[in-house]
Amino acid sequence: MSRLKWQAVVAGVGGQGVLFVSRALASSVEPKAGSILISEVHGMAQRGGAVVSHLKAGPFSGPLVSFGQADLLLALDPGEAVRNLTYLAPKGHLVVNAPDLEFLSPKARKALASFGAQVLTVPATELAGRAGTPKGANVVLLGAAAAVGALPVKLKELERAICEGQPQARAQANQKLLNLGAEAAAQV
Amino acid sequence: MSSKAKVRKEILMGNQALGRGLVENGVAVMTAYPGTPSSEILPSVVHYGAEMKHPPYCEWSVNEKVAVEVALSSAYTGQRSAVAMKMVGLNVALDPVMSAAYIGVIGGMILISADDPGPHSSQTEQDSRLLAHFAKLPVFDPDSPAMARDLVGPAFALSERFQIPVMIRPTLRVCHGRQNLNLREPKELERAPVFQRDPFRWAAIPKMRLALHHALNAKLAKIQDYVSKSKSLNKWHAPLRPRAPLGILASGVSAALARDVLAELGLPVGEGKVPFLQTAAPYPLPVGPVSELIAGCRNVLVLEETEPVLELLAPRRDQLWGRASGHVPSAGELTPEVLGEVLERALGEAKLKAPRPRGKMLTVPDQPPMRRPNLCPGCSHRAVFYSLRRALPTGVYPSDIGCYTLGMNQGAVDTCHDMGAAVTFASALSRSLNQAGDETPVVATIGDSTFFHSGITGLVNAVYNGSRFVLVILDNETTSMTGMQPTPESGLTADGHPGQAVDIKKLVEGCGVRWLTELDPYQMGDLQKTLKKAWRWCKSPEGSVAVIIARHACAAQRPKDAVATPCKVEVKGQAAPVKTSFKPKDNPCADCGGCVAVCPVGALTRTGKGKIKVDGAKCTGCRLCAAVCPTGTMVLEPVGACVACGLCSTWFACPALAKDAKGYISIDRGWCVDCGLCAEVCAHGAIAPLEESK
């Protein structure tokens, strides 16, 4: 059985749930990848600063993703998407919490288009806010990513990884947020 | 979680993996002082230790020196002990560490010193392995959480076999990396502690120390032989091959990342094109395999963080490519990008071609500005720093290590050096600046945990030597920056053993401080008056050090206590920018200098007695000058709307104060916690409590 080899960068700002996302991705891909490596930032960097987490699933040794190697860049903040675009692999997926690509300068939009990455914009904060849980934008974005095939696991597997062992109310809320994201992705 | 499950696979943070490793290897005593990136090690020992019949004794020590001494002397009794700290903590602990190799241990002792290449959360990029070498202690250098856990057993074994403490040096990417690993059962050693009286060893006088030094050197030679012969500590990822133009010698995270980068370049180590030796034991140097590698290759690239250790210890240095030869940068983290450049250059110079040049990547021209870390909304430190600038605007403000270093955003932190230096720097700066009779207020700020750690000695020194300055102890009753570890003031201990609270006020009184007050910094008006009063006393004939204990709950740890009476505020509209004016005609100037001192932008100059010149180009219209003017000579009526002066965003610097392109402020509800403090900041009354919240 060939093992999964997959790299992701999750970016955002302190308090948006970047670390939750990378850990959820890690536990959902673990059965397929066998080996999991994550790198996180703590301490000074978390006080309102940028937060980024690297995830390498499969036969890797080191915890950091190289520029141009991420199969997925999942950005909870558009500005942090810009800062981390350089990690994206040519055929990688960019999934970003934004209504559209207006946050990019025309030059950057052009560069992204010619790079060949697959782009998905989701107004996740707005969707999560409408559902009454504005802090759940990270889970909405995950649902959207799973639905468009930006993850090496299906929505169901992701859901299992996120909801397993959670209190029922929490699990149901997350389920709802995942579906919101999946629906939004289907409409694009 | 059942402890009966045979194999539990979990994704663990490196620090948790180290904690797990310690519990799996029968640690009986664990001490630490928190510091990024090491802080989670001790709580993990507490957590996993609960699975043991006899959980280990764990303590948050008051500082790293104390932590080392407690762990070291515990190991004298035959028990296994460990101590964890960040690398700058190792500097604090260096005194007992230096003697530790000479005198040694009976039970195994592990010293974990976590390095921070980058640096991401530290003052220096120092390499603890050099200090291990300096102190003549063997050191292990893990490349991943799994290896960190797996090295704990061998480290204890080496420590007990040679009766010497062993250092494990993880770097940030190990500490805060995560990896899935199989948990093993905790081990119960059930060793009864025994103290064998042996004053010639435990209390060795200098003459004995010489004998101990000779013995230590002999011991280190044996350890070198031991690590040299170890197959598990020295791994050939790619074996030697005849006439290899280039070999790689690596340790730590660089060894792991270099393997990934080589694979990306089309030269996976498995194909064996470039001989690759990784050692987990850089000191004493595993001279056997290292010499073999160097002898077998024309050149050897040495990859390690952050200083040359292998490179300096290895033989035939003229063949090495590393920091001395300029192949590896001498500062900064060896990220995949840096390693990519280093490897490509080395491969090129060795006339080896990388089959795949480094991949295509997206470069985006318009990068967003760097996000500066900031104090949490509702943090009482912000109120202290604002009040400091309002009350004593011409002051010099030495500060210290902790969240409150971020007071820099408010222009109220002038120095930040090492733990406790706020107090000593303030003593010295006040003496230097005020010896000519000048009146430069000097106000130091230090957090409660940092005060306990190293501030007390500076305070005793200041009292004894008659220094004159104001010390504000920012007491939020926890160690916030590193993740809310309890301080001695709480009386709570790391593993729940009975402790006793230590009263900061009594401690300060006990240091001989004669002017001391406690207050709540949320009362910013009181705080400003108190700061002025304190400084007046400092410079009075009977004055000395004045201490203000500013106590308020941490907004991150206890948000409900921090904002006990929520007050929702709103910005009352926008108005055109305004300027201040000096009108001495009806109200003559009292020449007090208050306006000149308080102006945040230096727009006011005293041009003669009772004469102030306003630089209209600089004036932002913040109205502080008019607000402090006792005679009404500086004139600017409150506008009652935001005039885009920028005072609140610079002096108060709350993340909830959002600034638009024209400089107008609005409240970002995503950040705002309704502390209501900013309403007191705006001198135009533009930020005000919402009617409905009253």
CATH number of the domain enclosing A156: 3.40.920.10
Inter-chain touch A68–B375, beta carbons under 8 Å: no
Beta strands B177-183; B234-238: pairing state: unpaired
Inter-chain touch B368–A82, beta carbons under 8 Å: yes
Q: How confident is the model at residue A45 (pLDDT cuts 50, 70, 90)?
A: low
pLDDT, average across residues B432-442? 88
Question: What integer pLDDT is reported at residue B694 of this predicted model?
Answer: 44
Inter-chain touch B364–A86, beta carbons under 8 Å: yes
Q: Where in chain B is the domain with CATH 3.40.50.970?
A: 8-228, 380-562
SS3 B227: helix
Distance from C-alpha of B210 to C-alpha of B279, rounded to nearest angstrom: 31
- Whether residue B36 is predicted with pLDDT greater than 80 in this model: the reply is yes
Of B179, B359, B670, the CB nearest to A69: B359
Inter-chain touch A63–B173, beta carbons under 8 Å: yes
Residues of A in contact with B654 (CB under 8 A): none
In a domain, A188, yes or no: no
Q: Where in chain B is the domain with CATH 3.40.50.920?
A: 234-349
- Whether residue B3 is predicted with pLDDT greater than 60 in this model: the reply is no
Q: How far is A36 from chain B (nearest CA, A)?
A: 5
Of A50, A64, A89, the CB nearest to B335: A64
Question: What integer pLDDT is reported at residue A47 of this predicted model?
Answer: 64
DSSP code, position A46: G
pLDDT digits (tens, 9 = 90+) for B290-329: 999 999 999 999 999 999 999 999 999 999 999 999 999 9
Q: Where in chain B is the domain with CATH 3.30.70.20?
A: 569-693
Please check whether residue B399 is in contact with residue B388, taking contact to mean a CB–CB distance below 8 angstroms.
no
In a domain, A1, yes or no: no
Inter-chain touch B373–A49, beta carbons under 8 Å: yes
In a domain, A149, yes or no: yes
State the alpha helices, DSSP H only, in chain A.
18-33, 78-84, 106-115, 124-130, 137-147, 155-163, 168-187
Inter-chain touch A61–B365, beta carbons under 8 Å: no
B182 contacts chain A (CB < 8 A): no
Inter-chain touch B177–A82, beta carbons under 8 Å: no
Of B36, B144, B374, the CB nearest to A48: B374
Of B360, B373, B670, the CB nearest to A45: B373
A30 contacts chain B (CB < 8 A): yes
Q: How far is CA B145 from CA A45, B13, B16, B116, B281, in A?
A: 21, 7, 8, 15, 16
- Whether residue B7 is predicted with pLDDT greater than 80 in this model: the reply is no
Residues of B in contact with A61 (CB under 8 A): 143-144, 255-257, 259-260
**Best CATH choice for the domain B234-349 from the list 3.30.420.40, 3.40.50.920, 2.60.40.10, 3.40.220.10:** 3.40.50.920
Q: How far is A87 from chain B (nearest CA, A)?
A: 7
pLDDT, average across residues B561-588? 95
Mutate to test the interface with A, among B88, B304, B356, B361 (most CBs of A within 10 A): B361
Question: What integer pLDDT is reported at residue A188 of this predicted model?
Answer: 73
B684 contacts chain A (CB < 8 A): no
Residues of A in contact with B120 (CB under 8 A): 41, 43-45
A9 contacts chain B (CB < 8 A): no
pLDDT, average across residues B629-653? 96
Closest residue on chain A to B361 (Cα)? A68
Q: How far is B183 from chain A (nearest CA, A)?
A: 15
CA proximity to B691, closest of B568, B564, B563 = B568
The ipTM, to two decimals, is 0.95
Residues of B in contact with A64 (CB under 8 A): 173, 257, 335-336
- Whether residue A1 is predicted with pLDDT greater than 60 in this model: the reply is no
Q: Which fold has domain B380-562?
A: Rossmann fold (3.40.50)
Tokens (6 digits) for B28: 């009986």
Average predicted confidence (pLDDT) for chain B: 95
- Whether residue A12 is predicted with pLDDT greater than 60 in this model: the reply is yes
DSSP code, position B351: T
pLDDT digits (tens, 9 = 90+) for B468-522: 999 999 999 999 988 899 999 999 999 999 999 999 999 999 999 999 999 999 9
Please check whether residue B147 is in contact with residue B14, taking contact to mean a CB–CB distance below 8 angstroms.
no
Q: What's the count of helices (H) and strands (E) in chain A, helices before strands?
A: 7, 6
Inter-chain touch A61–B373, beta carbons under 8 Å: no
Residues whose CB is less than 8 angstroms from the CB of residue B103 and which lie 6 or more positions away in sequence, other chains included: B201, B202, B204, B212
Q: How confident is the model at residue B367 (pLDDT cuts 50, 70, 90)?
A: confident
Question: What integer pLDDT is reported at residue B693 of this predicted model?
Answer: 44
Inter-chain touch A66–B11, beta carbons under 8 Å: no
pLDDT, average across residues B18-36? 97
Distance from C-alpha of A56 to C-alpha of A37, rounded to nearest angstrom: 5
Closest residue on chain A to B36 (Cα)? A43
Distance from C-alpha of A128 to C-alpha of A140, rounded to nearest angstrom: 7
**Number of cross-chain residue pairs from A and B with Cβ atoms under 8 Å apart:** 166
Closest residue on chain B to A37 (Cα)? B179
Distance from C-alpha of B621 to C-alpha of B369, rounded to nearest angstrom: 27
pLDDT digits (tens, 9 = 90+) for A146-179: 999 999 999 999 999 999 888 999 999 999 999 9
Q: Give the residues across from B220 on adjacent strands.
A: none
What is the share, in percent, of chain B residues with pLDDT greater than 90?
Answer: 93
pLDDT digits (tens, 9 = 90+) for B396-430: 999 999 999 999 999 999 999 999 999 999 999 99
Architecture of B569-693 per CATH?
2-Layer Sandwich (3.30)
Q: How far is A91 from chain B (nearest CA, A)?
A: 11
Closest residue on chain B to A79 (Cα)? B368
Question: What integer pLDDT is reported at residue B645 of this predicted model?
Answer: 97
Question: What integer pLDDT is reported at residue B621 of this predicted model?
Answer: 97
Of A43, A104, A108, the CB nearest to B481: A43
- Whether residue B159 is predicted with pLDDT greater than 90 in this model: the reply is yes
Q: How confident is the model at residue A44 (pLDDT cuts 50, 70, 90)?
A: low
Closest residue on chain B to A46 (Cα)? B373
Inter-chain touch A62–B364, beta carbons under 8 Å: no
Whether CATH 3.40.50.10420 fits B8-228: no
- Tokens 């080996």 locate to A35
Contact residues, B window 404-433, toward A, CB-based 8 Å cutoff: 406
- Please give the helix or strand (H or E) that residue B260 lies within, else none: helix B253-264
What is the share, in percent, of chain B residues with pLDDT greater than 70?
Answer: 98
Counting the structural domains of chain A, the total is: 1
CA proximity to B350, closest of B239, B251, B264, B248 = B248
Residues of A in contact with B364 (CB under 8 A): 82, 85-86, 104, 108, 111-112
Q: How far is A186 from chain B (nearest CA, A)?
A: 27
Structural domain boundaries, residue A146: 6-183
Distance from C-alpha of B286 to C-alpha of B304, rounded to nearest angstrom: 15
Inter-chain touch A60–B260, beta carbons under 8 Å: yes
B84 contacts chain A (CB < 8 A): no
Cα-flanking dihedrals φ and ψ of residue B54, to 5°?
A: -120, 90
B373 contacts chain A (CB < 8 A): yes
Of A38, A80, A86, the CB nearest to B363: A86
Contact residues, A window 102-161, toward B, CB-based 8 Å cutoff: 104-105, 107-108, 111-112, 115, 117, 134
CA proximity to B81, closest of B71, B91, B73, B89 = B71
CB neighbours of residue B500 within 10 Å: 8
CA proximity to B335, closest of B297, B295, B380, B305 = B305
pLDDT digits (tens, 9 = 90+) for B509-556: 999 999 999 999 999 999 999 999 999 999 999 999 999 999 999 999
